């Protein structure tokens, strides 16, 4: 038999259930289709396209250059491939974004109507979103019971599957437009530093996991909050594109600790994978998550939405060092530390009273790990409008956050080098530094580094007032 293996967000050979099925005794046609028809406003951002370009190059090389790379409507392209190769089966691993779910359902029924066998597999989530329901039979809305009662007590994640050993890939150059035809590399070459830090593809993912388990995992619980320590696994873009599966990460971590989840660092790390599951779960059950406030109280909120505020935030020029360092890390590396994502998000939404959609959109374009589920759930969490969100009145103070998590200012000094000679005492609040200290550090505020855009205390109060007004109007 002849099977089409449709690669999507599973750009790997190991632990790939659909690929393993495809290779079971049949000829395999490996295909990746860049879908520019169905995603609508959720088409990939620029940083993700950079990643995808390199990830596809890596997968293609693992497949001895037999990956067919095409662009267009998958329903049409798959139909053409079936005819061309006389294929009788199509397989894929499931994706969970609402537009993908809708598209895949349509393709599945088209194929079935044409007597083509079709199978989909779980390649990405430890627990399928429809498996985990509360006692009342509805979806959970709070993380801890979802994860601890729902997931952990439901069943163990499925076992990892080996890479196929016996296979025969069919290839026809007429059906391959080639990687460059996708034109994924953005015109603006801001990404020149990305490859110093990242290696897209299965090998890069395996390296990051192996490094993380060799040491950082042992102090993960504490170190994960310190932005200048490289204390996390840096697997998010690899997980998003499926160069490694959550199952591989889950079991490799557990195996390292004799299968036990009791160690606090292991528990803390695995629960972050749990947050990844929860985001996908929310998006699956509440498909309007990227667009609509989960908590409708926020529909009445009076946003200020000043465009210059947004531009200064995007450029890392707000005059608040912790915020600016984060925004510059994002621009330079395609990544931002999780603690700092929360700080810059809270500052944008609360201090600058700018709609979370604006922050979400900028992250979508700039993050290498941009993921519709994690990004929209996290922005709603930060804004206070989401499921199980941080309450609106809990407004992160970027100065105290900086003093707590970056006490020596190492992170700020890395990304805001113009502040590097400021003493620790003022590194997170240069506007409080006496004139002679600023002079000694070679800084004139307003010239070398901006004055703060807003007063933190006053803007905090303004946000709280606007929130009370929205609540009363509800
Ligand atoms: P680790 O700490 O090593 O965690 C391991 C894995 O768990 C991550 O790779 C990721 O897949 C998952 N994970 C960790 N934290 C979260 C979380 N809070 N929510 C969901 N999954 C999580 N993550 C994305 O993958 N894509 C996004 O678009 C994204 N947008 C975010 C936007 C905001 C405003 C915030 C506050 C967080 C966002 N996150 C997003 C979550 C988190 O910041 C990143 O997953 C994490 O920083 C990735 O680094 P790491 O792989 O070293 O994480």
- Which of 171, 436, 474, 184 is CA-nearest to residue 302? 474
For residue 92, what is the domain's CATH number? 3.40.50.620
Instruction: State the complex-level ipTM.
Output: 0.99
Which pLDDT does position 341 carry in this prediction? 98
CB 323 within 8 A of CB 343: yes
pLDDT tier at 253 (50, 70, 90 boundaries)? Answer: very high
Domain membership flag for residue 18: yes
Q: Ligand 1 test: best mutation among 369, 370, 384, 398, most atoms within 8 Å of CB?
A: 369
Domain membership flag for residue 167: no
Residue 250 annotated as catalytic: no
Ligand 1 proximity of 374 Cβ (cutoff 6 Å): yes
Given 230, 253, 285, which residue is the final one in a domain?
A: 285
Which pLDDT does position 336 carry in this prediction? 98
Ligand 1 proximity of 341 Cβ (cutoff 6 Å): yes
Domain membership flag for residue 334: yes
Ligand 1 proximity of 225 Cβ (cutoff 6 Å): no
- Ligand 1: centre distance to CA 319 (Å): 26
* Residue 388, pLDDT above cutoff 80: no
Is the domain of 37 the same as that of 150? Answer: no
Is the domain of 312 the same as that of 431? Answer: yes
What does the pLDDT look like over 184-216, one tens digit per residue?
Answer: 998 888 998 999 999 999 999 999 999 999 999
Residue 356 annotated as catalytic: yes
- Ligand 1: centre distance to CA 360 (Å): 14
pLDDT tier at 391 (50, 70, 90 boundaries)? Answer: confident
Domain membership flag for residue 323: yes
Is the domain of 361 the same as that of 412? Answer: yes
Which pLDDT does position 421 carry in this prediction? 98
Ligand 1 proximity of 208 Cβ (cutoff 6 Å): no
For residue 129, what is the domain's CATH number? 1.25.40.80
Which pLDDT does position 325 carry in this prediction? 98
% of the chain at pLDDT higher than 90: 91
Is the domain of 239 the same as that of 154? Answer: yes
What does the pLDDT look like over 130-187, one tens digit per residue?
Answer: 999 999 999 999 999 999 999 999 999 999 999 998 778 999 999 999 999 999 998 8
Is the domain of 30 the same as that of 89? Answer: yes
Report, as an integer, the average pLDDT of 109-133. Answer: 97
The β-bridge relationship of strands 117-121 and 168-169 is unpaired
pLDDT tier at 118 (50, 70, 90 boundaries)? Answer: very high
What does the pLDDT look like over 335-358, one tens digit per residue?
Answer: 999 999 999 999 999 999 999 999
- Which of 254, 245, 246 is CA-nearest to residue 272? 246
Domain membership flag for residue 47: yes
Which pLDDT does position 322 carry in this prediction? 98
Domain membership flag for residue 102: yes
Is the domain of 395 the same as that of 452? Answer: yes
Residue 379 annotated as catalytic: yes
Which pLDDT does position 254 carry in this prediction? 97
Is the domain of 280 the same as that of 132? Answer: yes
Domain membership flag for residue 246: yes
What does the pLDDT look like over 405-422, one tens digit per residue?
Answer: 999 999 999 999 999 999
Catalytic option among 293, 379, 381, 397: 379
Is the domain of 116 the same as that of 142? Answer: no
What does the pLDDT look like over 421-448, one tens digit per residue?
Answer: 999 999 999 999 999 999 999 999 999 9
For residue 437, what is the domain's CATH number? 1.10.579.10
Residue-averaged pLDDT of the chain: 96
Given 285, 319, 345, which residue is the final one in a domain?
A: 285
Domain membership flag for residue 68: yes
Is the domain of 115 the same as that of 257? Answer: no
The atom of ligand 1 lying closest to the CA of 336 is 47
Ligand 1 proximity of 290 Cβ (cutoff 6 Å): no
Is the domain of 104 the same as that of 248? Answer: no
Residue 127 annotated as catalytic: no
Ligand 1 proximity of 265 Cβ (cutoff 6 Å): no
pLDDT tier at 115 (50, 70, 90 boundaries)? Answer: very high
What does the pLDDT look like over 9-62, one tens digit per residue?
Answer: 999 999 999 999 999 878 999 999 999 999 999 999 999 999 999 999 999 999
Residue 275 annotated as catalytic: yes
The pTM score is: 0.98
Which pLDDT does position 26 carry in this prediction? 82
Is the domain of 32 the same as that of 68? Answer: yes
Q: How many domains does the chain have?
A: 3
- Ligand 1: centre distance to CA 168 (Å): 37
Contacts of 355 (CB under 8 A, 6+ apart): 303, 305, 349
CB 9 within 8 A of CB 241: yes
What does the pLDDT look like over 56-92, one tens digit per residue?
Answer: 999 999 999 999 999 999 999 999 999 999 999 999 9
The atom of ligand 1 lying closest to the CA of 359 is 34
pLDDT tier at 313 (50, 70, 90 boundaries)? Answer: very high
Pick the range with the lowest mean pLDDT from 130-134, 256-260, 316-320, 450-454.
256-260
Which pLDDT does position 186 carry in this prediction? 87
- Ligand 1: centre distance to CA 456 (Å): 27
Given 122, 145, 180, which residue is the final one in a domain?
A: 122
Is the domain of 213 the same as that of 281? Answer: yes
Which pLDDT does position 57 carry in this prediction? 98
* Domain of residue 34, residue span: 2-122
Which pLDDT does position 415 carry in this prediction? 98
Exposure pattern of 375-387 as b/e (b: 16+ CB <10 Å)? bbbbbbbbbbbbb
């Amino acid at each position: 038999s002849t099977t089409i293996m449709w690669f999507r967000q599973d750009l790997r050979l190991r632990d790939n259930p659909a690929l393993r099925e495809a290779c079971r005794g049949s000829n395999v046609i490996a295909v990746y289709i860049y879908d520019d028809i169905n995603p609508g406003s959720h088409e990939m951002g620029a940083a993700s396209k950079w990643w995808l370009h390199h990830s596809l190059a890596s997968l293609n090389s693992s497949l001895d250059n037999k990956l067919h790379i095409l662009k267009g409507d998958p329903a049409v392209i798959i139909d053409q491939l079936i005819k061309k190769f006389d294929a009788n089966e199509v397989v894929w691993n499931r994706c969970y974004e609402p537009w993908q779910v809708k598209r895949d359902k349509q393709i599945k029924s088209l194929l079935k109507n044409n007597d083509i066998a079709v199978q989909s597999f779980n390649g990405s989530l430890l627990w399928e979103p429809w498996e985990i329901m509360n006692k009342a039979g509805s979806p959970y809305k709070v993380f801890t019971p979802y994860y601890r009662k729902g997931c952990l007590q439901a069943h163990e994640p499925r076992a990892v599957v080996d890479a196929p050993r016996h296979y025969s890939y069919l290839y026809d150059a007429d059906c391959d437009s080639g990687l460059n035809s996708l034109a994924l590399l953005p015109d603006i070459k801001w990404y020149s530093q990305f490859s110093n830090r990242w290696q897209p593809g299965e090998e890069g993912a395996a390296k990051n996991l192996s490094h993380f388990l060799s040491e950082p995992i042992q102090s993960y619980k504490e170190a994960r909050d310190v932005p200048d320590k490289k204390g996390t696994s840096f697997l998010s873009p690899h997980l998003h594109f499926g160069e490694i599966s959550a199952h591989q990460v889950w079991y490799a971590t557990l195996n390292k600790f004799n299968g036990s989840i009791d160690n606090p660092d292991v528990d803390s790390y695995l629960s972050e994978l749990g947050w990844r599951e929860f985001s996908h779960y929310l998006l699956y059950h509440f498909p309007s998550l990227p667009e609509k406030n989960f908590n409708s109280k926020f529909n009445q909120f009076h946003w200020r939405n000043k465009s210059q505020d947004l531009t200064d935030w995007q450029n890392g020029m707000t005059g608040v060092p912790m915020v600016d360092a984060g925004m510059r890390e994002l621009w330079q590396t395609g990544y931002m530390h999780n603690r700092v994502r929360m700080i810059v998000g809270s500052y944008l939404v609360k201090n600058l009273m700018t709609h979370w959609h604006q922050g979400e959109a900028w992250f979508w374009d700039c993050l290498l790990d941009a993921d519709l589920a994690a990004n929209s759930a996290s922005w709603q969490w930060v804004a206070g409008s989401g499921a199980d969100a941080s309450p609106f009145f809990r407004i992160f103070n970027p100065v105290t956050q900086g003093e707590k998590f970056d006490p020596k200012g190492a992170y700020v000094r890395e990304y805001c080098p113009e502040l590097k000679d400021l003493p620790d005492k003022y590194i997170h609040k240069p506007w409080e530094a006496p004139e002679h200290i600023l002079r000694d550090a070679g800084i004139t505020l307003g010239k070398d580094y901006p004055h703060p855009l807003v007063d933190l205390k006053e803007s905090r109060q303004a946000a709280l007032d606007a929130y009370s007004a929205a609540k009363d109007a509800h």
